[in-house]
Structure 1
């Protein structure tokens, strides 16, 4: 009898999801060890469209508002570290506001 293929089946890295990862998984965020998480198609799509934390971490701690536009950002999660910058005087800016504010400051 051959070994079962289910023993090599990977499950989506998202703990809120139990879907299997396709043969060509969607790459998510970078972990502290340098590797990237492997996501199922659904979770990968949500991550790629910038809605992962809103979809899966909405009730978790660490949500703050952009100091410039008040957009809600999840600063308590490795998933969204690319979505904001820390401000020198405290607080955070979303990347869109950070780019705009940087351009204004350098003029």
Structure 2
């Protein structure tokens, strides 16, 4: 190692990690979790284990035709529908032990 790389390796780096935003159009299948959310969570944990200051920030995408059609199918407003499934998804992520430090909604 050079002196320069030793110097930088001692500094605590700051990282913000995010992933593809899942749509709030019903309950997600395991592929959404494994393909996007889980890798971001694992990477954030790895950075923290290396001594870095890291946070995983995610959101749900509450817009689009799938949310509108889902709301119609369930006989509720889009706002009620996306709130319902945002909360369902957050519970699933917590049940799997996901450490998303922040989980926001892109709302209307």
Instruction: Answer yes or no: same fold by TM over 0.5.
Output: no
TM-score of the superposition, structure 2-length normalised?
0.26
Bigger share in helix: 2
TM-score of the superposition, structure 1-length normalised?
0.26
- Higher RCO (CA < 8 A, seq sep 6+): 2
